[in-house]
Amino acid sequence: MVPWTTFPQPALTLQKIYLDHNATTPLAPEVLEAMLPLYREGFGNPSSVHSEGRRARVRLDEAREQVAALIGAESREIVFTSGGTEADNFAIFGVAFAPGQKKRHIVTCEIEHSAVLNPLKQIEGLGYRVERLPVDHCGCVDPERVRNALTDSTVLVTIQHANSEVGTLQDIERIGKIVRERGILFHTDAVQSVGKIPIDVKSLPVDLLSLSAHKLYGPKGVGALFIRRGIRPLFSLICGGGQEKKRRGGTENVAGVVGFGKACQLAAERLDRGEAECLKEMRDRLWGRIQGSIPGAELFGDPNNRLPNTLGCGFEGVDGETLLIALDMEGVSVSTGSACSSGTGLPSPVLAAMQVPVDWINSSLRLSLGWGNTPDEMDRVVETLAQAVRQGREKVFPGQAG
């Protein structure tokens, strides 16, 4: 066995600056506190009639209310899932395969997460027609294109709320209105936006909305699908016992769900205090300083309409992967493109769809801020990044990097 001390251990000696909150967030201490008793003594099965079971049921119901409250839903409109991926799959297969449903056309956009694109690819193999709408150079879908794409055989439109790589927000209010006027169901993947910006399904014209706990300081492996009351019954992806009102079988992940509920309650409190504005200020300060000290830096995404925590950018003439590693060695965690699809070796499909030239795509980084970050950290990140860019350019253009 190789002794662990033979591996480089910079992270053990440096205090890390974590700027990858769109990949995942640390568990909030209050969330952990809420979950631990469920593992220790609150182990009951919510379907059991005895007191342990009844206690677990109460906790499950409380959590459902907390999740619902964050997005303005009714608690019966929340179905717990194993995460955002399952929620997206449930929305797509659930609508497409609903009992008696005969329509075969689905509209989406090119920059969806793979949790949407891959089930749609599967469904294409079953004879459904999937239309992937293009986006502009900011990553926005034109709502009029959505209108023009709808046909009498369209059963579902699924357009994300926020993009995980560049943070661009879609005009889901206008898109949803157009879609629902035609009596078509509208799903939005809001995994990246829930908890980062206010969302209220009472006024938002969506029928289905996906959430994930680990993007908002909750545990991994828990999520939910909001299903608006009154829409036709969906096909159940997971059949078993009658849990989740027969919409999703399987003994509930009570501790995870309780953690999710607590995370939603905390997110609602932060949003009420206007802390999204603080994150935005910190993100803009970071970008301002990058621009001021690193020549050849380019912003990706919609400059005016994106998640308050997200900064997608590129650095001319340097490889993003090289930057990521250099930053990691110096104690700063960032990502190139989406963590979920990195490792494929392919240039980011999101940036490609936004017509970003391939050299710039290869130079791209995503810095996604969270509640634990401080303005001082942003200044340290800029220093480290400037040095990494200089060194990267020096390798490519020896003697010329400024």
Catalytic residues: 340
User: Token pair 């990553």 is at which residue?
Assistant: 139
154 HSE (CA, 13 A, CB side): 24
Contact (Cβ atoms closer than 8 angstroms) between residue 311 and residue 368 = yes
C-alpha–C-alpha distance, residues 73 and 124, integer Å: 32
Structure tokens belonging to residue 182: 């035609």
Shortest-Cβ-distance residue relative to ligand PLP: 84
Exposure string for 165-197, b = 16+ CB within 10 A, e = fewer: bbbbbbbbebbbebbeeeebbbbbbbbbbbbbb
Taking the complex as a whole, the smallest distance from the CB of residue 169 to ligand PLP amounts, in Å, to 12
Shortest Å distance, C-beta 154 to ligand PLP: 22
The Cα diameter of the chain in Å comes to: 75
Q: Is 334 helix (H, G, I), strand (E, B) or coil?
A: coil
Contacting positions for ligand PLP (CB under 6 A): 83-85, 88, 113, 115, 160, 164, 189, 191-192, 212, 214, 223, 340
Taking the complex as a whole, how short is the minimal distance between the CB of residue 325 and ligand PLP, in angstroms? 21
- Shortest gap between Cβ of 220 and ligand PLP (angstroms)? 7
Closer by beta carbon to ligand PLP, 263 or else 386: 263
Q: Among 66, 188, 45, which residue's Cα sits nearest to residue 115?
A: 188
Tell how strand 185-189 and strand 154-158 pair up.
parallel
- Work out how close the CB of 318 gets to ligand PLP at its nearest, in angstroms, rounded to a whole number: 25
Residue whose tokens read 């391939």: 358
How far apart CA 337 and CA 348 sit, in angstroms, is: 6
Q: Report the nearest approach of ligand PLP to the CB of residue 212 (Å).
A: 3
Measured from the CB atom, the residue of 111 and 297 that comes closer to ligand PLP is: 111
* End-to-end alpha carbon distance in the chain: 45
Question: Whose Cβ is closer to ligand PLP: residue 164's or residue 336's?
Answer: 164
Looking at the chain, how many residues does it have?
Answer: 402
Task: Tell me phi and psi for residue 163, to 5 degrees.
Answer: -85, 135
Closest CA to 63 of 213, 235, 284: 213
Token pair 């494929």: residue: 344
Taking the least distance from each CB to ligand PLP, the nearer of 25 and 322 is 25
d(CA 297, CA 292): 10
CB of 366 to ligand PLP, least distance (A): 11
Q: Which CB atom, from 115 or from 290, has the smaller least distance to ligand PLP?
A: 115
Tell which residue, 56, 117, 76, has the closest CA to residue 224.
Answer: 76
Q: What is the Cα–Cα distance from 282 to 375, expressed in whole angstroms?
A: 6
> Is residue 71 within 8 Å of 94, Cβ to Cβ?
no
Q: Which residue has the tokens 């019966």?
A: 76
**Smallest distance from ligand PLP to CB 143, Å:** 20
Using an 8 Å Cβ cutoff, are 380 and 34 in contact? Answer: no
